[in-house]
Structure 1
Amino acid sequence: MKCFHHFKFHSKFCSRPHLYLNNKYSTRTREHCNPEYQFLQNSMLPSMYFQPSLPRLPIPTIEKTCERYLKSVKPLLIDEGYRKTQDVVEKFKISSGPQLQKILKDRDSKNKHTSYISEPWFDMYLRDRRSLPINYNPLIVMKQDTRPEYNNILIRAANIVVSTLRFYKSLMQENLEPEIFHLNPKKSDTDLFRKITKIAPVSIATYVAYAFKAFPLDMSQYKGMFNATRIPELDKDRIFVSPTPSRHILVMLNGNFYAVDVIDEDGNIESPNVILGRIKQVLRSKNILQPDYPIGILTAGNRDKWAMLRYHLTKISSKNENSMKLIDSALFCLCLDVNTKYDHNDPIPLVKHYLVGDGINRWFDKSFSVFVGKDGISAVNFEHSWGDGVCILRYFNEIYKEITESPFVHPNTTAHLNDSEQKSIRSLEFDLDDQIKKGVEETRNSLNNVVSSLNIAFTRNPHINKKLCKANNVSPDAIIQLAFQLAYRQLFGKYVGTYESCSTAAFRHGRTETMRPCTIETKNFCDSIVGTKPNERLSNNELRLLIQKCSQKHNELTKEAAMGQGFDRHLFGLKHVAELHDMKIPNLYQDSAYQIMNYNIISTSTLGSPALLAGSFGPVVEDGLGIGYSIQNDECGAVVTSYEGQRDGKAFVDSLNDAFKKIQIILETK
């Protein structure tokens, strides 16, 4: 259920005069209150300008959903099984389906402020009792700075904090550019576009943007980014957002907690040298021993067990309760991993450490955490229930751009910290009893067992890239997904449920839709490569035509999904209303085809960003593959996770490299 979106963003980044590079704000003066420093952007249009006029997520017709479902399930079934499923779907279409559709549409018409999928989707995440790392929290790793001196852990961390706060202040003051997908940036990513849409009535602003082939996106999830934490509770967690803006961030070092003030008493971001000084002060405590019972590990455990332990922890002492309040309300979490380094020749240990690691220096419940290693290698790990990849990737891209092009902290910046400011750095202490200590040990042992069974494989291919795809008029994403199907077919001799996430952020409170990349078209191609005798194989020209058909189908499905015309979320919503009204669950959901379709052995998520080094998440089923991938102008790459003794991720990567080679030859041979 990982949901990095298909949209590319062409956001306007602020530009600053060269004098910023001369430490204009690196003194302890009121100069840090200057709006140029306080805000990352000063948008002509308010951040939430398009929210009131965003269209509502459509509810597809029962007929279309049944038709799309049958087409998607057909490649996974033998003829007899497919005929049985056809009968089940036909009965659903004329019996319980219309009844559930009416209830769903009635509920939707009474909740026009949101989408039909929003509440049940939040509920699905918050009710799951599985641990957050691997199962839910995704990871995106940021490229290092090309200037080695800026990869110092202190310099890198301070710059990320400053730029993150500028992003936060811009969002809070609605100075952050509205999220817009620009189909033609030269026409719409302009001041003229902004001036025209600004004078349009708010009720139709989105439709004015459409005239420029610009598509505003939902920004409701941004409210869950800062001052927020997922609180474990029995049966169902809740998302806590501090009712008052916080002045501090949570900093973790060797499993120890620090509340570090980064906003002054007037609500202004502290100057860069003050933030530098406070992080430096925390790093000076790196020789403080790791606690014997690091409670951060508890956030990596079963949610019900953690809920009971957390409740007990806060009742032990007022000290514990106050520490938890500071953790929960912190703007975000900064994890300083002083011993973590990146090896360009073998990125797997770093990806595994940042995806889950030993859990000691982590608080997985925070809305998002920034990790910074010894050599400045940075990453973002985010809790998934509050939002999808749209806002996190936007944040990720903008922060990277600023810290690499116009950072506020430099190697010659003087850190500022004096004795009177020590109160701005508070060490958070906890009183532990035997019950908590036992809980930490049990969670640590459980986590270690899971981590030891988690395998990660990695591949990078310079031959499959956007240039090659463009030259052959095929979708880059379609080619990567086709390679996944071919790789699996070659290795395991069959086709399985495959999940690709697509954002529905073009609609108010849209979340995601599933795009099903395993199609009749991909099956025809893969069978032509693998399932035929040598003398029956098609020519390269014939195979290229099959690839083009795969791409055309992929584009069609992607467009349908992005426009709210997939079938997965609709079927999910219909089942949800049946459960709400204690109605009998239709046979369609008990049918083996539905179980096969939704047992996502191949779960994929695409990450398109110039700032991205790698992205990863865990398999969504025990014997599955979790594939984070990207395709750039000069290469493609994938990180594949699997569990020991289940699906062989390393063998899959080997087969994937072979699939890439075969597709490359077909596309290059004219």
Structure 2
Amino acid sequence: MSRILSSLFQYAPKTLQQTCSSQAIPRRMVSSFDYLKRSKIPTYHFQKSLPRLPIPKLEDTCQRYLLSQKALLDETQYKSTEAAVKSFQEKEGPDLHDELVKQDKRNKHTSYISGIWFDMYLKDRRATVLNHNPFMTLVYDPRPEYNKQLLRTTNIIVSSLRLMKTLEEKVLEPDIFHLNPKKSDTETFRKIVRWLPEAVSWYGAYMFNAYPLDMSQYKSLFKSTRIPRPDKDELVSSPDSRHLLVMRNGHFYTFDVLNENGSIKPANEILAHLKYISEDSRPPAEYPVGALSTETRDTWANIRPHLLACGNEETLKMVDSAVFVISLESQSPPTTIEMIETFLHGDGANRWFDKSFNLIIPPDGRSSLNFEHSWGDGIAMLRYANEMIKDSKERPAIHPDTQASTSVDSSKCVQHLNFNLDSKMKEAIIKAQARFDEATKALDKDFLSYKRFNKSYVKGKKLSPDSVMQLVIQMAYYKITSGGRAATYESCSTAAFKHGRTETVRSCTWATRKACDTIFSSSASVEEMFATLQECSKVHSQLTKEAAMGQGFDRHLLALYKIAEQKSGKLPSLFADPHYKLINHIILSTSTLSSADYEFGGFAPVVPNGFGIGYVIEDDRLGYNITAYKDQQNCSDMIAALKESLNNIHDILEGKKPSEL
């Protein structure tokens, strides 16, 4: 059907061919070209009946907190913290917990952490780039000829639009964790649960040992942006948007990718517009407005009204309301380190970091997602990436022999956005670039790809692969600090609950502490070393399970802290304890995502003297992507220690005492 429509358009009268934004195909003629596979179960079918994020018992939270502190503190420090926690449990804690429970009961439409989590991001006055925005690098198309920049960009755009339309029509398959796929990931399951009322649909899935996940974040995936405001930023959506934003050399271009009736524009027309943009001979923007989105939020919020007052209201509206943004790069990064730099922050000129996500595509076709974090988490971005990559591989909208459409005039369809800039705005852009350059030059990066063993090998030893990767991080830090330990954060999704976000797995544990002491002890036997690996796996798996079920301690304590802060200026004993600040000063910030479509990702440290550690666990490789600030930490030393630690683990798993200690 899509080819028939393309052919009809190709031979249409000249006047119709030159119309860019009013190609009105009747809705009944819109084909399956515009959609992914239509789900039998509506996208938000389970949303109403999802279980609510539980508030842990106060005594459980306190015990989990103390157990985590025990891994970090010496005996004297621990006794001090233990006393502070005991005082909290006996005095302020119960009242704060009761108040949280009351608030939660008054807000049954959401979770107790959702508002706090949005505020944490939107009230943060630091720049989003480096402080919040992560990146995810996507694998190449396995067919080399499909990786040419404009070809791959066109296919990515069309597949993204198909996903968007499938989502908007509420026929995108819901996120479901299938504990027993043979029983639940079936047509029978789908036929049964689709007819269940929304108020009980989750319980029906539960009977099949299937667990639907929260889908609320997906509503902000497309057509949304973050607007800088004084004190607290705002998330804004533009549901009627039909245009794409493309950035190249710091310039902004827009063109419609949807027709008036919502159908996707012909792919060869999109290709023609991208070709027109890529051949634009304008030199790089002298005053790239994109640099303003790299600023601290108060600075950006203060200067934005002046940018609007200069006559840029409609122009800025086009930027903010775009479906999403594509950043076409002029050069392909030749090394892994330069690739990390390109995808994590670039030069600051060719990005709009406020959009829900930037798709960054260099000439070699390798692509990456850099996303604004307040609206959603990695689980939503990974689903988007998986669906988009799968569709672009299986149903590419264009092929290597596809010619750009000659039936449209791209010079009339593509709008180059011109910003009116006075001396104040030019000075603001110059200052933004200078601050950005200083911040990014201070950031060190390094990368390790390791193939001596893999995920399957670790599973074969009956160990949790994630626990091994986390232990390796603890061992590496132990090496570079001569026996040191540090507060460690591993993100875990709580999407099993309505409006769940994340919980923290505190992966520096008494078990990893014992493992490091044992492995780096010359007197320990290999059997003793392996036993500590088993204990680490057991403890880590339990912590991960608890976190996924909303039974960590971090989010609960954060909520109690916020209530205490609102009630009075005096903090309870637990929060006034310096060791509470210490455990929340995250030296080792870690995160992982697993997918065949995901190559690696990363982010900057969350504290000045910390490490940002993105890692992958696959059947063909293990990998770490490390960032740190040069005046505080050394990425090369950390990478060397990680490699040595992986070798140590491999030796132990092979029944040998480590050769590199």
Q: Do residues 463 (structure 1) and 452 (structure 2) align? A: yes
* 3-state SS in 1 of match to 2:419: coil
The one-letter amino acid of 2:208's match is F
Alpha-carbon separation, structure 2, partners of 1:36 and 1:195: 21
Give the structure 2 partner of residue 660 of structure 1: 646
The correspondence for 1:427, drawn from 408, 413, 416, is 416
1:466-545 to 2 correspondences below 5 Å: 466-492=455-481, 493-530=483-520, 532=521, 534=522, 536-537=523-524, 539-545=525-531
* 3-state SS in 1 of match to 2:359: strand
Q: Do residues 315 (structure 1) and 301 (structure 2) align? A: no
Alpha-carbon separation, structure 2, partners of 1:516 and 1:41: 39
Alpha-carbon separation, structure 1, partners of 2:142 and 2:619: 19
Give the structure 2 partner of residue 51 of structure 1: 47
TM-score, structure 2 as length reference: 0.94
Give the structure 1 partner of residue 15 of structure 2: none
* 3-state SS in 1 of match to 2:254: strand
CA distance 1:587–1:282, change in 2 (3 Å): same
Question: Does the Cα contact within 8 Å between 2:46 and 2:201 map onto a contact in 1?
Answer: yes
Alpha-carbon separation, structure 1, partners of 2:40 and 2:385: 22
Alpha-carbon separation, structure 2, partners of 1:582 and 1:232: 29
Alpha-carbon separation, structure 1, partners of 2:388 and 2:223: 18
Alpha-carbon separation, structure 1, partners of 2:464 and 2:5: 46
Give the structure 1 partner of residue 351 of structure 2: 362
The correspondence for 2:271, drawn from 255, 276, 291, is 276
Give the structure 2 partner of residue 16 of structure 1: none
Give the structure 2 partner of residue 375 of structure 1: 364
1:333-348 to 2 correspondences below 5 Å: 333-341=325-333, 343=334, 346-348=335-337
* 3-state SS in 2 of match to 1:100: helix
Deviation at residue 275 of structure 1 after TM alignment: 1.4
Give the structure 2 partner of residue 297 of structure 1: 291
Q: Deviations over 1:285-321 (max 9, x none)?
A: 1x2111211010110011111111111000011xx11
The correspondence for 2:340, drawn from 347, 351, 356, is 351
* 3-state SS in 2 of match to 1:350: helix
Alpha-carbon separation, structure 2, partners of 1:462 and 1:595: 38
Alpha-carbon separation, structure 2, partners of 1:24 and 1:133: 45
Deviation at residue 34 of structure 1 after TM alignment: 3.4
The correspondence for 1:202, drawn from 198, 203, 208, is 198
Deviation at residue 207 of structure 1 after TM alignment: 1.6
Give the structure 1 partner of residue 105 of structure 2: 109
Deviation at residue 269 of structure 1 after TM alignment: 0.7
The correspondence for 1:250, drawn from 245, 253, 259, is 245
Alpha-carbon separation, structure 2, partners of 1:585 and 1:121: 20
Alpha-carbon separation, structure 1, partners of 2:4 and 2:174: 29
Give the structure 2 partner of residue 182 of structure 1: 178
Q: Deviations over 1:31-86 (max 9, x none)?
A: 99533111112000000000001000000011000000000011110100000100
Q: Do residues 453 (structure 1) and 442 (structure 2) align? A: yes
Give the structure 2 partner of residue 136 of structure 1: 132
The one-letter amino acid of 2:610's match is G
Deviation at residue 25 of structure 1 after TM alignment: 6.1
Q: Deviations over 1:546-598 (max 9, x none)?
A: 10110000000000000000000000000111223336321211212111110
Q: Do residues 83 (structure 1) and 50 (structure 2) align? A: no
Alpha-carbon separation, structure 2, partners of 1:630 and 1:213: 28
Alpha-carbon separation, structure 2, partners of 1:279 and 1:590: 56
Alpha-carbon separation, structure 2, partners of 1:514 and 1:137: 18
The one-letter amino acid of 1:664's match is H
Q: Deviations over 1:338-373 (max 9, x none)?
A: 2224x4xx3110111110121111100001111111
1:539-558 to 2 correspondences below 5 Å: 539-558=525-544
Q: Do residues 171 (structure 1) and 167 (structure 2) align? A: yes
* 3-state SS in 1 of match to 2:194: helix
Question: Does the Cα contact within 8 Å between 1:468 and 1:667 map onto a contact in 2?
Answer: no
The one-letter amino acid of 2:167's match is L
The one-letter amino acid of 2:310's match is I
The correspondence for 2:398, drawn from 393, 409, 418, is 409
The correspondence for 2:189, drawn from 183, 189, 193, is 193
Q: Deviations over 1:411-469 (max 9, x none)?
A: 11121144556443111111101111111111111111111111111001112311111
Q: Deviations over 1:310-336 (max 9, x none)?
A: 11000011xx11010011110000111
1:568-587 to 2 correspondences below 5 Å: 568-582=554-568, 584-587=570-573
* 3-state SS in 2 of match to 1:653: helix
Alpha-carbon separation, structure 2, partners of 1:553 and 1:127: 35
Alpha-carbon separation, structure 1, partners of 2:4 and 2:436: 46
Give the structure 1 partner of residue 226 of structure 2: 230
Identity among equivalent positions (%) equals 45
Q: Which runs of 5+ in 2 are unaligned?
A: 10-24, 657-661
The correspondence for 1:97, drawn from 70, 93, 97, is 93
Tell me which moved more, 117-126 or 455-464: 455-464
- Work out which structure has the larger RCO, using CA pairs closer than 8 Å and 6 or more positions apart in sequence: 1
The one-letter amino acid of 2:45's match is Y
Deviation at residue 146 of structure 1 after TM alignment: 2.0
* 3-state SS in 1 of match to 2:247: strand
Alpha-carbon separation, structure 2, partners of 1:417 and 1:574: 62
State the number of aligned residues: 639
Deviation at residue 26 of structure 1 after TM alignment: 4.7
Question: Does the Cα contact within 8 Å between 2:378 and 2:593 map onto a contact in 1?
Answer: no
Question: Does the Cα contact within 8 Å between 1:604 and 1:626 map onto a contact in 2?
Answer: yes
Question: Does the Cα contact within 8 Å between 2:269 and 2:408 map onto a contact in 1?
Answer: no
Question: Does the Cα contact within 8 Å between 2:272 and 2:410 map onto a contact in 1?
Answer: no
Deviation at residue 148 of structure 1 after TM alignment: 1.6
The one-letter amino acid of 1:485's match is Q
Alpha-carbon separation, structure 2, partners of 1:36 and 1:451: 44
Give the structure 1 partner of residue 605 of structure 2: 619
Question: Does the Cα contact within 8 Å between 1:200 and 1:208 map onto a contact in 2?
Answer: yes
Q: Do residues 561 (structure 1) and 547 (structure 2) align? A: yes
* 3-state SS in 2 of match to 1:202: coil
Question: Does the Cα contact within 8 Å between 2:294 and 2:353 map onto a contact in 1?
Answer: yes
Question: Does the Cα contact within 8 Å between 1:25 and 1:31 map onto a contact in 2?
Answer: no
Alpha-carbon separation, structure 1, partners of 2:409 and 2:487: 60
Question: Does the Cα contact within 8 Å between 1:118 and 1:509 map onto a contact in 2?
Answer: yes
Alpha-carbon separation, structure 2, partners of 1:517 and 1:394: 25
